Amino acid sequence: MKQETIERIRKFSTDRDWEQFHSPANLAKSISIEAGELLECFQWSDTEYDLQQVKEELADVIVYCQDLLDRLGLDADEIVNQKMT
């Protein structure tokens, strides 16, 4: 993800004072909830879905993942490359 986007996510949370609610457990729960909402987009059809809704739910998952990365002091590139190795 571009650094500019990461900073925008961070500012979004800071501006709303959401860090107080962003424990690792809460963020993991939020990722799961949003992933469920993403899955809902495909509930009745694998081929007929609202792409805009998919984009919105996928963005929610990504934002919460970045929040969790920040909370745990992790780098996405590093942990993905470690996993791939």
Q: Which domains does the chain have, with CATH numbers?
A: 3-16+23-84 (1.10.287.1080)
Q: What is the SS3 assignment for 50?
A: coil
pTM for the full predicted model: 0.93
Which pLDDT score, from 0 to 100, does residue 65 have? 98
Tens-digit pLDDT profile for the chain (85 aa)?
899 999 999 999 999 999 999 999 999 999 999 999 999 999 999 999 999 999 999 999 999 999 999 999 999 999 999 999 9
Which pLDDT score, from 0 to 100, does residue 11 have? 97
Yes or no: say if 52 and 45 are a contact pair by the CB < 8 Å rule: no
Please tell me the distance from the alpha carbon of residue 80 to that of residue 57, in angstroms, as a whole number: 21
Please tell me the distance from the alpha carbon of residue 31 to that of residue 25, in angstroms, as a whole number: 10
Of 27, 25, 1, which Cα lies nearest the Cα of 13? 27
- Rg over alpha carbons for the chain, rounded to the nearest Å, is 14
